[in-house]
């Protein structure tokens, strides 16, 4: 009976049935889909395997790989064909790495070696011929389609001779250099055995005595590192190793049973491993498709290495264990975060013919645990244990690690021990002078071996697209210093301070040479002794001269003194921006009173806290919450001022240098209880004096005050302008957020200096018309990420405009770090370098100084560091810590909530925030504190607050996922209203998403990445449901769709009342929105008009009004 089955989408239907005591095997195939020759071979192999299994049923316990290997060899011998063996998992992985489907691939795993010396090329040819006949590996070809390796009977010699003898030595070297770059990276044609020897015949030997240069290249598909080293010794020294006469063969014993137990060992061992190691990669490794490779090397003399090894032996450590421990401990200093997880290549079988039998194990290294010697001992134990669990291969380990990092790389760092590999003899006529190893998905390969003289050779092969050459050089130099330190001291320990080079701190200031500028004395001089007709303030139609402002200040001082206010007393100024605010602040400062600008627009609960916590002796305000007493500013300043100057210059000169509390500023870093920072005049004098000098400010300059007066940057607007004798423009109440009016003020008054957070500057630019900003000569931004696109716009606006980046938390007084933005600052604007008399340290979790390029927590020391925090009337030192400076001396510093890295040129680059702090439109927000406020809602069971968008691009926003308690309901609008009643507006999340449960990661922690995906609308919730979007009327919907289309987002759960800024709207979007609205509705709404609309409903209302 002959039957054929067929089905749609089926190319091969393999059927096996029991018939008459045997097996009926029937394969129905589509020959248009599969090649007939391949099918025929596969069918033959399958039938032969079944027959062999029937004849020898005990082989059923073998692994499939071993069973197939046995049968393939038997079939090849029976047919007189070249011997074939299936590729090992590691060989298959190397083949996969040659392609471009994985990150950091497109690379052939191969070793290139370069030798120089004097040897007869014909002797090399004859030795190669003998070696090819002797070693199966040199006759092995790789069939990448069938995934088998074939040992050919043909003894082909892959040798090229290149005659350069007619050239000059420089010309010959240039030719060799050109060949080397391509030769070391080229992929072999797998139609032949993948190895190559190239001999360059050099011109007259000259002083070097080198008559030949020899390139060797071997693919790891056929040979491992030990075998390559042995072959090199055989080629150049004629040494034939005894094991080379054996055949490659197949594994000698079945490991399937051991594999199960070894798998359990490794899964448990690596359960907490975090991969890949967070080194200072140039880009996320998963985003690098391929790379070229380079090598850097250093040689440690035999004497030092011998001494080092003896010291390690006293700790019962093998040489390789001691060296690996030093490499890992040094490399840990370059970690941005977490611990190290690296691969260690191992070769479990050394007998038999040359081949690649290597695998690898994974080891973890946490520099924060135990002492160095104990860590090294633990490493040695881990390696020895790992060698006893090799049935679970390195490829299997890789899969386990990748389960925790899908789409990424598991072990981009490996450490290869070549100490026991054969070397050339000390009397050899050839010398190994260089080389390169490259491995798919490996970015950093540490290799150590010994040369014929017994010196230690340390090589680092690295992916050029993954890590900077300068970083590699620093790591290599630090390892060399660590080995020398152990050898010289006799102690097996690594001291980071002795090995990390810190020249990137060279722009740090020296506090000892600080000379305090008399900034209060200069203000007093302008107010009471200078030209009284010069304009000090402009507010609306009022132009207030320095003489008039001096009278206002004197009146305020008299009013304060009349109410018993003196030096050290606290004056809370709870007023909108106005000349009165300025005068009262100056009066308090010149009296030595502690002034506190309080945001008069705060929610009542917050305002109560602000006023209660600072314990003011007097509150100057037009209205305050019930229970507080306040003095109206007009009443305060109505007191008659005494004749003459109200303060002596000696008094204010002393005040300028005072390290006592001078003013308080509340940070926006927390929510319900913001921190009250206590700041001094000495620190303020440093900022103002340094800045005025750096920016070349004169009395002809015109400032504008747009930063909220409770924000630290506003201190410079007021005091900087008046110290310089310049003019300060004050937008009137109601103009605080009116960017159209700001442009008019700049043009009307010829403002020359602009200083604000980036979001305010963007508003200014978005509403600019014509040349309204042509008077500006300097623009400074700080407090948030500076967008390169805004810098480009400013450059186009005025090419000669000075552009400044400012930074530093409130706890370091106004700003403590800066950078003048130059044309090269395209991709990102540096955080900068410290102001004079300040030092910025980047420290790791152990308090050690990070090398250049490594991300750590930023600490600030120096004149600018605040006195502390005011808590319940007392000064606390939370986050003000003692650290060791580079010389090991203890210094007081502020531990910021920022992480950054130093560039080699001494400039800091911002990296991220710590402890859940983010900056949203220039305001520092603590995400845990927002959670703490929201969880107080009686209907909420669980809540997760995350930032979404890209903070470095100025697109950061706050989002909430919340779970409602069983049986209760909590609409998003109700939770939003609750947030507004308990949080400042800057901290109110922009998106609220109700879910059935919070997303969790594999280790049970909140999955913040998944939460961001849900908030961004990038993925549909899986097992996490959100309520249906609220109903939106047709007009609102059309407007909302326009905005979402421009933003390129389709988030769930938005309506016409959703905050457009929270959705990611930027001033730069408004021109496009305006054009889209014109097309859709036939109504012209300018970007300036749209800027005033907070949500789609307000836009709809504006459209309706314009259409009338």
Q: What is the 3-state secondary structure (H, E, C) of 335-393?
A: CCECCEEEEEEECCCCCCCCCCCCEEEEEEECCCCCCHHHHHHHHHHHHHHHHCCCCCC
Comparing 1076 with 485, which gets the higher pLDDT? Answer: 485
Comparing 41 with 777, which gets the higher pLDDT? Answer: 777
The DSSP-derived string for 825-893 is --S----BEEPTTEEEEEE-TTSPBPPTT--EEEEEEETT---EEEETTEEE-TTEEEEE-TTS-EEEE
Among 624, 708, 701, smallest CA distance to 665 is for 708
The predicted model gives 455-472 an average pLDDT of: 97
User: pLDDT tens across 995-1032, in order?
Assistant: 987 886 444 457 777 888 888 773 333 333 333 333 44
Tokens 């050690």, residue?
Answer: 848
The predicted model gives 939-943 an average pLDDT of: 85
Tokens 């890295």, residue?
Answer: 901
The predicted model gives 309-336 an average pLDDT of: 97
Helix/strand/coil for 83: strand
Give me the pLDDT at residue 1002, please. Answer: 40
Q: How far apart are CA 8 and CA 24, in angstroms?
A: 24
- Give the fold, CATH level 3, of 916-1027: GMP Synthetase; Chain A, domain 3 (3.30.300)
Give me the pLDDT at residue 3, please. Answer: 58
Helix (H) or strand (E) holding 537: strand 535-539
User: pLDDT tens across 101-135, in order?
Assistant: 889 999 999 999 999 999 999 999 999 999 999 99
CB 769 within 8 A of CB 783: no
- Is the pLDDT at 584 greater than 90? The verdict is yes
Tokens 């059309």, residue?
Answer: 1038
**Other Cβ atoms within 10 Å of 77 Cβ, number:** 10
Question: What's CA 464's distance to the chain center, in Å?
Answer: 18
Among 495, 472, 275, 263, smallest CA distance to 364 is for 275
The predicted model gives 608-614 an average pLDDT of: 93
**DSSP annotation of 1019:** S
At the fourth CATH level, the homologous superfamily of domain 1033-1108 is ACP-like (1.10.1200.10)
Give me the pLDDT at residue 506, please. Answer: 96
In a 13 Å sphere around the CA of 227, the CA atoms on its Cβ side amount to 30
Of 534-538, 550-554, 849-853, 950-954, give the lowest mean pLDDT range.
Answer: 950-954
Among 323, 363, 337, smallest CA distance to 494 is for 323
The predicted model gives 709-717 an average pLDDT of: 94
- The encoded tokens of residue 83 equal 């011997």
- The encoded tokens of residue 80 equal 């007189």
- Is the pLDDT at 7 greater than 70? The verdict is no
- The encoded tokens of residue 28 equal 């129905």
- Is the pLDDT at 271 greater than 60? The verdict is yes
CB 167 within 8 A of CB 177: no
Question: Over the range 657-687, which residues count as b (16 or more CB within 10 Å of their CB) and which as e?
Answer: bbeebbbbbbbbbbbbebbbbbbbbbbbbbb
**Other Cβ atoms within 10 Å of 1031 Cβ, number:** 9
Comparing 553 with 46, which gets the higher pLDDT? Answer: 553
At 83, the pLDDT band (50, 70, 90 cuts) reads: confident
At the fourth CATH level, the homologous superfamily of domain 91-245 is Chloramphenicol acetyltransferase-like domain (3.30.559.10)
At 670, the pLDDT band (50, 70, 90 cuts) reads: very low
CB 483 within 8 A of CB 305: yes
Q: How far apart are CA 463 and CA 103, in angstroms?
A: 12
- Is the pLDDT at 214 greater than 90? The verdict is yes
Give me the pLDDT at residue 1026, please. Answer: 35
- Is the pLDDT at 848 greater than 90? The verdict is yes
Distances (CA, A) of 675 to 259, 670, 1021: 57, 7, 37
- The encoded tokens of residue 808 equal 């530093």
Helix (H) or strand (E) holding 230: helix 225-237
At 1108, the pLDDT band (50, 70, 90 cuts) reads: very low
At 403, the pLDDT band (50, 70, 90 cuts) reads: confident
The predicted model gives 441-467 an average pLDDT of: 97
Give me the pLDDT at residue 1095, please. Answer: 84
Whether 521-656 and 507-518+659-840 are alike in CATH topology: the answer is yes
At 788, the pLDDT band (50, 70, 90 cuts) reads: confident
Helix/strand/coil for 306: helix
- The encoded tokens of residue 43 equal 């069918």
Give me the pLDDT at residue 986, please. Answer: 76
The predicted model gives 818-830 an average pLDDT of: 90
Give me the pLDDT at residue 772, please. Answer: 95
- Is the pLDDT at 954 greater than 80? The verdict is no
Distinct helix (H) and strand (E) counts, the chain:
32, 42
The predicted model gives 43-62 an average pLDDT of: 77
- The encoded tokens of residue 301 equal 């003399």
The predicted model gives 1033-1047 an average pLDDT of: 81
The predicted model gives 264-273 an average pLDDT of: 91
The predicted model gives 687-699 an average pLDDT of: 98
Give me the pLDDT at residue 251, please. Answer: 46
Q: What are the domain boundaries of the chain? A: 12-80, 91-245, 258-505, 507-518+659-840, 521-656, 916-1027, 1033-1108
- Give the fold, CATH level 3, of 258-505: Chloramphenicol Acetyltransferase (3.30.559)
pTM of the model: 0.76
Q: How far apart are CA 3 and CA 39, in angstroms?
A: 19
CATH code reported for the domain at 507-518+659-840: 3.40.50.12780
Of 642-646, 749-753, 771-775, give the lowest mean pLDDT range.
Answer: 642-646
- Is the pLDDT at 229 greater than 50? The verdict is yes
Helix (H) or strand (E) holding 50: helix 36-55
User: pLDDT tens across 382-393, in order?
Assistant: 999 999 999 998
Q: What are phi and psi of 641, to 5 degrees?
A: -85, 140
Q: How far apart are CA 202 and CA 210, in angstroms?
A: 7
Q: How far apart are CA 149 and CA 142, in angstroms?
A: 5
What contacts 1020, CB < 8 A, 6 or more positions away?
A: none
Give me the pLDDT at residue 1030, please. Answer: 39
User: pLDDT tens across 148-173, in order?
Assistant: 999 998 889 999 999 999 999 999 99
At 1037, the pLDDT band (50, 70, 90 cuts) reads: confident
Q: What angle do CA 146, 147, 153 make, to 5 degrees?
A: 85
Q: How far apart are CA 1095 and CA 683, in angstroms?
A: 42
Distances (CA, A) of 165 to 161, 197, 253, 696: 12, 18, 54, 65
CATH code reported for the domain at 521-656: 3.40.50.980
Comparing 969 with 1092, which gets the higher pLDDT? Answer: 969
Q: What are phi and psi of 1047, to 5 degrees?
A: -75, -15
**DSSP annotation of 194:** S
Q: Rg of the Cα trace of the chain?
A: 37
Averaged pLDDT of the chain? 88
Helix/strand/coil for 162: strand
Among 114, 63, 107, 66, smallest CA distance to 86 is for 66
Give me the pLDDT at residue 4, please. Answer: 61
**Other Cβ atoms within 10 Å of 175 Cβ, number:** 14
Give me the pLDDT at residue 409, please. Answer: 87
CB 430 within 8 A of CB 115: yes
- Class of residue 814 by CB neighbours under 10 A (exposed 0-12, middle 13-18, buried 19+): buried
- The encoded tokens of residue 110 equal 């191969």
Residues above pLDDT 70, as percent of the chain: 89
Residues above pLDDT 90, as percent of the chain: 59
């Amino acid at each position: 009976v002959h039957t054929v089955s067929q089905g749609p989408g089926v190319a091969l239907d393999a059927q096996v049935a029991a018939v008459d005591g045997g097996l009926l095997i029937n394969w129905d195939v589509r020959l248009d889909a599969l090649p007939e020759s391949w099918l025929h071979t596969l069918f033959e192999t399958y039938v032969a395997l079944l027959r062999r299994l029937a004849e020898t049923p005990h082989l059923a316990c073998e692994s499939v790989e071993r069973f197939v290997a046995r049968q393939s060899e038997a079939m090849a011998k029976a047919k007189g064909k070249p011997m074939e063996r299936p590729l090992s998992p590691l060989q298959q992985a190397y083949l996969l790495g040659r392609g471009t489907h994985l990150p950091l691939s497109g690379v052939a795993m191969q070793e290139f070696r370069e030798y120089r010396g004097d040897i007869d090329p014909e002797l090399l040819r004859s030795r190669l011929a003998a070696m090819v006949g002797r070693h199966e590996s040199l006759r092995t070809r790789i069939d990448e389609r069938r995934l088998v390796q074939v040992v050919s009977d043909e003894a082909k010699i892959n040798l090229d001779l290149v005659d350069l003898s007619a050239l000059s030595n420089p010309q010959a070297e240039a030719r060799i250099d050109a060949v080397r770059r391509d030769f070391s990276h080229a992929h072999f044609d797998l139609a032949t055995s993948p190895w190559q020897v190239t001999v360059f015949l050099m011109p007259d030997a000259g002083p070097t005595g080198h008559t030949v240069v020899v390139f060797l290249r071997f693919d790891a598909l056929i040979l491992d590192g030990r075998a390559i080293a042995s072959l090199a010794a055989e080629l150049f020294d004629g040494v034939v190793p005894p094991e080379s006469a054996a055949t490659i063969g197949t594994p000698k014993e079945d490991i399937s049973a051991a594999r199960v137990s070894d798998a359990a060992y490794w899964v448990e061992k690596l359960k907490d491993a975090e991969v890949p190691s967070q080194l200072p990669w140039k880009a996320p490794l998963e985003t690098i498709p391929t790379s070229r490779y380079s090598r850097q090397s250093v040689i440690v003399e035999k004497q030092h290495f011998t001494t080092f090894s003896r010291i390690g032996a006293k700790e019962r450590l093998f040489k390789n264990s001691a060296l690996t421990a030093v490499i890992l401990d040094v490399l840990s200093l370059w970690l941005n975060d977490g611990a190290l997880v690296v691969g260690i290549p191992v070769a479990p079988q050394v007998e038999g013919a040359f081949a690649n039998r290597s695998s690898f194990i994974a080891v973890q290294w946490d520099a924060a645990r135990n002492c160095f010697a104990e860590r090294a001992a633990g490493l040695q134990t881990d390696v020895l244990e790992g060698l006893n669990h090799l049935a679970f291969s390195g490829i299997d380990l890789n899969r386990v690690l990748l389960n925790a990092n899908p789409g990424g790389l598991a072990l981009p760092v490996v450490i290869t021990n070549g100490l026991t590999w054969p070397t050339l003899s000390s009397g050899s006529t050839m010398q190994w002078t260089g080389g390169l190893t490259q491995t798919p998905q490996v970015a950093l390969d540490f290799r150590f071996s010994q040369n014929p003289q017994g010196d230690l050779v340390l090589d680092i092969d690295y992916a050029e697209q993954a890590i900077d050459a300068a970083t590699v050089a620093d790591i290599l130099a630090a390892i060399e210093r660590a080995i020398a330190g152990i050898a010289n001291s006799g102690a097996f320990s690594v001291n980071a301070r002795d090995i990390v080079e810190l020249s990137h701190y060279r722009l740090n200031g020296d506090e000892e040479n600080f000379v305090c500028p008399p900034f209060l004395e200069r203000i007093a001089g302008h107010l009471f002794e200078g030209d009284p007709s010069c304009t000090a303030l402009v507010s609306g139609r009022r132009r207030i001269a320095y003489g008039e402002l001096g009278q206002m200040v004197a009146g305020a001082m008299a009013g304060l003194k009349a109410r018993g206010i003196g030096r050290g007393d606290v004056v809370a100024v709870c007023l909108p921006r106005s000349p009165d605010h300025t005068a009262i602040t100056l009066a308090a400062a010149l009296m030595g009173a502690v002034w506190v600008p309080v945001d008069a627009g705060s929610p009542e609960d917050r305002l109560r806290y602000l006023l209660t916590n600072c314990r003011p002796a007097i509150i100057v305000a037009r209205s305050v919450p019930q229970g507080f007493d306040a003095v109206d500013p007009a009443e305060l300043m109505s007191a008659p001022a005494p004749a003459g100057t109200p303060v002596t210059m000696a008094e204010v000169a002393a005040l300028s240098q005072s390290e006592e509390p001078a003013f308080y500023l509340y940070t926006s870093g927390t929510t319900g209880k913001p921190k009250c920072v206590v700041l001094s005049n000495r620190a303020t004098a440093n900022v103002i004096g340094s800045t005025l000098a750096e920016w070349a400010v004169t009395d002809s300059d015109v400032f504008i005050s747009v930063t909220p007066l409770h924000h630290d940057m506003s201190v410079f607007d007021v005091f900087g302008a008046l110290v310089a004798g310049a003019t300060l423009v004050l937008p009137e109440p109601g103009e605080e957020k009116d960017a159209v009016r700001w442009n008019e003020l700049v043009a009307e008054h010829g403002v020359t200096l602009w200083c604000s957070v980036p979001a305010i500057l963007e508003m200014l630019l978005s509403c600019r018309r014509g040349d309204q900003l042509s008077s500006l000569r300097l623009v400074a931004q700080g407090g948030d990420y500076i967008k390169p696109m805004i810098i480009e716009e400013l450059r186009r606006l005025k090419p000669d405009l000075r552009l400044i980046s400012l930074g530093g938390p409130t706890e370091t007084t106004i700003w403590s770090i800066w950078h003048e933005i130059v044309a090269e600052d395209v991709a990102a604007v540096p955080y900068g370098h410290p102001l004079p008399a300040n030092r910025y340290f980047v420290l790791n979790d152990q308090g050690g100084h990070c090398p250049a390029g490594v991300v750590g927590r930023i600490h600030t020391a120096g004149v600018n560091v605040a006195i502390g925090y005011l808590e319940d009337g007392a000064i606390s030192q939370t986050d003000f810590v003692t650290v060791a400076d580079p010389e090991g001396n203890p210094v007081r510093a502020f531990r910021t909530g920022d992480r950054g890295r130093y560039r080699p040129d001494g400039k800091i680059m911002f990296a991220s925030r710590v402890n859940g702090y983010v900056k949203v439109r220039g305001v520092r927000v603590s995400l845990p504190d927002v959670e703490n406020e929201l969880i107080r809602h009686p209907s909420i069971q669980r809540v997760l607050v995350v930032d979404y968008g890209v903070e470095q691009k100025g697109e950061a926003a706050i989002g909430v996922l919340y779970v409602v308690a069983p049986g209760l309901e909590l609409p998003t609008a109700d939770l939003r209203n609750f947030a507004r009643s308990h949080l400042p507006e800057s901290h109110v999340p922009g998106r609220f998403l109700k879910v059935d449960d919070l997303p969790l990661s594999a280790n049970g922690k909140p999955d913040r990445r998944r939460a961001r995906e849900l908030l961004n609308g990038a993925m549909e919730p899986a097992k996490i449901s959100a309520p249906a979007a609220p109903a939106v009327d047709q007009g609102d919907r059309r407007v909302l769709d326009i905005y979402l289309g421009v933003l390129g987002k389709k988030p769930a759960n938005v309506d016409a009342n959703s905050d457009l800024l929270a959705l990611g709207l930027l001033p730069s979007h408004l021109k496009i929105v305006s054009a889209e609205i014109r097309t859709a509705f036939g109504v012209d709404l300018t970007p300036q008009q749209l800027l005033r609309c907070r949500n789609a409903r307000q836009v709809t209302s504006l459209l309706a009004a314009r259409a009338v």
